[in-house]
């Protein structure tokens, strides 16, 4: 924790014990102050601290709004140019103090307070604009009723799919049309729909709406969609599509909730740009050959599409699940809320401070705030609370957690890690489970317990508490690593794995991995390889390289992501992939796969091609092809470089088109003429 930071820890009216010594030991450099009712009776102490301008950490999130308002009021009274306190908050009550193990939770409080002071970079934003043009899509009068609720606030159009016996409105206050949405794309403020069976109602409709002649392929644009059709959603992961509201038409409460939400979706909105994408790192394809497609398989919203040699991530559609970043082997797709290095820095602070404050056998609980916070709160208020050694870490989405996070956690000295998910996850967590299985294989190979990484899938706080207290946590690492997470995502991944192997209880050099793992080596059939180097041109990461001065194929295992482009591109089909994790590869130089002597031009002596290739070509053509039968001077031209070959062709008047005369083409007229000549003359 940075020096000169004031830390307020409140016992919340003496409902939890505070181990000031442990907190001070972990948060060295911070000015620790305890309180019993900081938000009420002792609020003046907080005000005095704000007026000093020094940064402040408050161990309370329940009254964060109150403290922020107080700090803002003081800031308004401070003259321009004066420093204003940077105030941040963390929850030590439900996560540590309200627990049957509260007396032993001092190290955890110190870790949480120290981690709260870690700075986070600003997340770039994406702007969405909505003018309030809404399409209400339904089947009957309930869609028209929703339109009536929205008409005073939004520009409403109602589209009815295969309507029956719809009573005509007394007055046309908004358009009502017939049609079935065939295709939908877009986002809040920019939806585009293709409608079949589109028709407008006849003005003369009497007892029921009568529609005019229908047509297919009508196009409609709108800012919002309220889907009350009760059918299949118009978008994958429909609840993640900004501006698309869907409700069961048979449930009035959900319809009303959707209508109220639509009322507020007018104006300009900012959402985080969740993914930072670097095109040149993408290993999707080369020369129309598909290599890596992990992100395409995992994206729930369809925000990722192929775009030439790389993929394209539509920032307007992306909902921030982070599955692409968690699976991307090159770091082309990197999560930005927060970035991987910031998350790893926070985990580093948590675990190192926990140890410094006297904590043992730390267990990390990763969760998202929407699901995890209510469970932890309920467990603290109505149960035994979290164990003293369980440190909760809230992330934006659990699916953003990648293999470098798992490696770093155990390198920093964690005894176990659990990821909290819903009993029935709303969206696919395949990417997360793949990373967990990969982490298990690596950790087991290095001597960690088989169950040190796992998932807790529950919506019940009591189940959460039982599973956490049943963990058999052990201190696997005697001297935890303390490396700083720096560099690009791939570099941090390799650094974390190397440090994990260094401090592991049973380190080994090579661990076999399952197919599609993002680490491994390339093997070639040396005899079949012609050193055409097409694999070098296809490799997106530079794992395969050559030497411009000599026929050579080199391989750097640390850069290989097992995308398979080299294997698919190789014309001789002599390349195979071996998924494995070789910890020595991160610092090892590139190794030689194949090297040959170059063939020197018999005219000028310049090296060109490989000796085996030229000899193989000569052996196949000598005495077999018409150009080289009884023509040794032509055969010699194959042993020349491009420049000398052109000169030799010119000097010897070599005609490349001087092929033997082909048989004359015979036509039907030729056959008829020969028949007439053979017939006896009259």
Contact indicator for 242, 187 with CB cutoff of 8 Å = yes
Domain CATH number, residue 552? 3.30.70.3270
Residue carrying structure tokens 């974390």: 496
Predicted local distance difference test score (pLDDT) of residue 48: 93
Final residue before a domain boundary, out of 528, 561, 595: 595
Q: Answer whether residue 137 shows pLDDT above 70.
A: yes
CA-CA distance, 102 to 115, in Å (whole number)?
A: 19
Final residue before a domain boundary, out of 60, 89, 118: 89
The percent of residues in the chain predicted with pLDDT above 90, rounded, is 78
Domain CATH number, residue 250? 3.50.50.60
The reply to whether 439 and 362 lie within a common domain is yes
The reply to whether 325 and 387 lie within a common domain is no
CA 122 to chain centroid: 19
The percent of residues in the chain predicted with pLDDT above 70, rounded, is 96
Predicted confidence band of residue 82 (pLDDT cuts 50, 70, 90): low
Residue carrying structure tokens 């110190």: 110
Whether the link from the prior residue into 338 is cis, omega within 30° of 0, is yes
Query: Could you tell me which of 409, 326, 403, 322 has the C-alpha nearest to residue 365?
Result: 409
The reply to whether 430 and 499 lie within a common domain is yes
Longest dimension (CA), the chain: 137
Domain CATH number, residue 326? 3.30.70.20
Predicted local distance difference test score (pLDDT) of residue 658: 60
CA-CA distance, 364 to 389, in Å (whole number)?
A: 8
Predicted local distance difference test score (pLDDT) of residue 278: 96
Query: Could you tell me which of 610, 431, 479 has the C-alpha nearest to residue 532?
Result: 610
pLDDT tens digits, 590-637:
999 999 888 889 889 888 878 778 888 888 888 777 677 766 777 888
Confirm whether 676 is domain-assigned: no
Confirm whether 50 is domain-assigned: yes
Q: Answer whether residue 497 shows pLDDT above 70.
A: yes
Sign of CA dihedral 589, 437, 318, 268: negative
pLDDT tens digits, 454-475:
999 999 999 999 999 999 999 9
Domain CATH number, residue 436? 3.40.50
pLDDT tens digits, 292-320:
999 999 999 999 999 999 999 999 999 99
Final residue before a domain boundary, out of 564, 595, 626: 595
The reply to whether 298 and 255 lie within a common domain is no
Confirm whether 108 is domain-assigned: no
Predicted local distance difference test score (pLDDT) of residue 621: 81
pLDDT tens digits, 331-379:
999 999 999 999 999 999 999 999 999 999 999 999 999 999 999 999 9
Entry field: residues in the chain: 682
Confirm whether 100 is domain-assigned: no
Q: Answer whether residue 36 shows pLDDT above 60.
A: yes
The reply to whether 216 and 135 lie within a common domain is yes
Confirm whether 27 is domain-assigned: yes
Instruction: Count structural domains, the chain.
Output: 5
The reply to whether 438 and 480 lie within a common domain is yes
Confirm whether 513 is domain-assigned: no
- Phi (first) and psi of residue 9, to 5 degrees: -120, 125
Mean pLDDT over 136-156 rounds to 96
For the entire predicted model, the pTM comes to: 0.88
Predicted local distance difference test score (pLDDT) of residue 328: 97
The reply to whether 197 and 265 lie within a common domain is yes
The reply to whether 290 and 266 lie within a common domain is no
The reply to whether 312 and 345 lie within a common domain is no
Transcribe 137-189 into DSSP letters.
EESSHHHHHHHHHHTTTSEEEEEESS--SPPPPSS-SS-EEEEEEEEEE--TT
Confirm whether 618 is domain-assigned: no
Mean pLDDT over 521-530 rounds to 92
Q: In the structure encoding, which two tokens stand for residue 317, read together?
A: 């559609």
Predicted local distance difference test score (pLDDT) of residue 88: 93
**Residue-range definition of the domain harbouring residue 304:** 273-335
Contact indicator for 388, 96 with CB cutoff of 8 Å = yes
Predicted local distance difference test score (pLDDT) of residue 625: 75
The reply to whether 329 and 349 lie within a common domain is no
The b-or-e profile of 489-527 (16+ CB within 10 A means b, else e) is bbbbbbbbbbbbbebbeeeeeebebeebbbbbbbebeee
Predicted local distance difference test score (pLDDT) of residue 333: 97
Predicted local distance difference test score (pLDDT) of residue 657: 61
The reply to whether 282 and 156 lie within a common domain is no
pLDDT, mean over the chain = 92
Confirm whether 122 is domain-assigned: no
Q: In the structure encoding, which two tokens stand for residue 332, read together?
A: 């082309």
Residue carrying structure tokens 């439900």: 94
The reply to whether 417 and 485 lie within a common domain is yes
């Amino acid at each position: 924790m940075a020096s000169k930071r004031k830390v307020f820890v409140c016992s919340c009216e003496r409902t939890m014990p505070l181990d000031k010594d442990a907190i001070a030991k972990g948060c060295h450099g911070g000015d620790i102050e305890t309180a019993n009712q900081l938000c009420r009776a002792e609020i003046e102490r907080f005000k005095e601290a704000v007026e000093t301008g020094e940064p402040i950490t408050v161990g309370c999130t329940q009254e964060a709004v109150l403290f922020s308002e107080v700090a803002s009021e003081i800031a308004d009274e401070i003259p321009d140019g004066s420093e204003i306190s940077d105030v941040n908050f963390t929850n030590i009550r439900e996560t540590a103090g309200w627990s049957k193990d509260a007396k032993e939770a001092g190290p955890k409080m110190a870790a949480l307070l120290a981690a709260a002071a870690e700075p986070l970079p600003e997340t770039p934003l994406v702007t969405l604009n909505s003018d309030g043009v809404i399409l209400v899509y339904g089947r009957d009068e309930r869609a028209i009723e929703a339109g009536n609720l929205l008409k005073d606030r939004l520009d409403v159009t109602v589209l009815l799919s295969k309507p029956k016996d719809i009573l005509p409105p007394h007055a046309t206050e908004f358009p009502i049309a017939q049609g079935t949405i065939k295709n939908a794309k877009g986002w809040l403020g920019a939806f585009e729909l293709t409608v079949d069976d589109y028709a407008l109602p006849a003005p003369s409709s009497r007892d029921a709406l009568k529609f005019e002649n229908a047509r297919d392929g009508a196009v409609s644009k709108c800012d919002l969609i309220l889907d009350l059709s009760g059918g299949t959603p118009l978008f994958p992961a429909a609840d993640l599509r900004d501006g698309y509201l869907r409700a069961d038409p048979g449930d009035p409460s959900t319809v009303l909730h959707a209508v109220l939400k639509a009322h507020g979706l007018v104006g300009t909105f900012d959402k985080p740009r969740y993914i930072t994408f670097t095109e040149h790192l993408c290993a999707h394809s080369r020369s129309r050959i598909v290599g890596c497609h992990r992100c395409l398989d995992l994206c729930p919203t369809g925000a990722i599409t192929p775009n030439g040699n790389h993929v394209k991530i539509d920032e307007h559609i992306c909902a921030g699940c982070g599955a692409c970043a968690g699976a991307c082997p090159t770091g082309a797709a990197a999560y930005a809320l927060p970035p991987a290095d910031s998350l790893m820095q926070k985990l580093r602070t948590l675990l190192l401070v926990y140890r410094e404050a006297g904590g043992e056998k730390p267990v990390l609980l990763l969760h998202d705030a929407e699901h995890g916070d209510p469970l932890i709160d309920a467990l603290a208020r109505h149960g035994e609370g979290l164990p003293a050694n369980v440190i909760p870490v809230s992330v934006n989405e659990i699916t953003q957690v990648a293999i470098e996070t798992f490696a770093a956690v155990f390198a920093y000295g964690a005894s176990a890690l659990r990821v909290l998910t819903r009993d029935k996850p709303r969206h696919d967590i395949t990417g997360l489970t793949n990373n967990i299985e990969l982490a298990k294989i690596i950790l087991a190979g290095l001597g960690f317990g088989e169950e040190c990484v796992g998932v807790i899938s529950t919506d019940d706080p009591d189940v959460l508490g039982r599973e956490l207290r049943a963990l058999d946590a052990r201190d696997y690492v005697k001297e935890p690593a303390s490396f700083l997470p720096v560099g690009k995502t791939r570099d941090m991944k390799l650094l974390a794995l190397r440090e994990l192997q260094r401090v592991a209880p049973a380190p080994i050099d090579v661990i076999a991995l399952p197919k599609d793992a993002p680490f491994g080596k390339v093997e070639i059939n040396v005899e079949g390889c012609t050193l055409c180097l097409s694999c070098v041109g296809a490799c997106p990461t530079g794992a395969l390289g050559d030497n411009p001065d000599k026929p050579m194929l080199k391989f750097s295992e640390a850069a290989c992501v097992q995308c398979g482009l080299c294997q698919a591109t190789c014309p001789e089909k002599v390349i195979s992939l071996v998924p494995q994790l070789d910890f020595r590869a991160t610092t090892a130089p590139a190794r030689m796969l194949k090297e040959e002597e170059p063939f020197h031009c018999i005219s000028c002596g310049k090296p060109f091609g490989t000796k085996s290739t030229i000899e193989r070509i000569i052996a196949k053509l000598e005495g077999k092809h018409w150009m080289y039968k009884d023509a040794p001077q032509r055969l010699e031209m194959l042993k020349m470089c491009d420049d000398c070959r052109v000169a030799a062709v010119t000097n010897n008047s070599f005609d490349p088109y001087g092929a033997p005369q082909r048989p004359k083409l015979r036509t039907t007229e030729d056959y008829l003429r020969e028949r007439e000549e053979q017939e006896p003359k009259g």
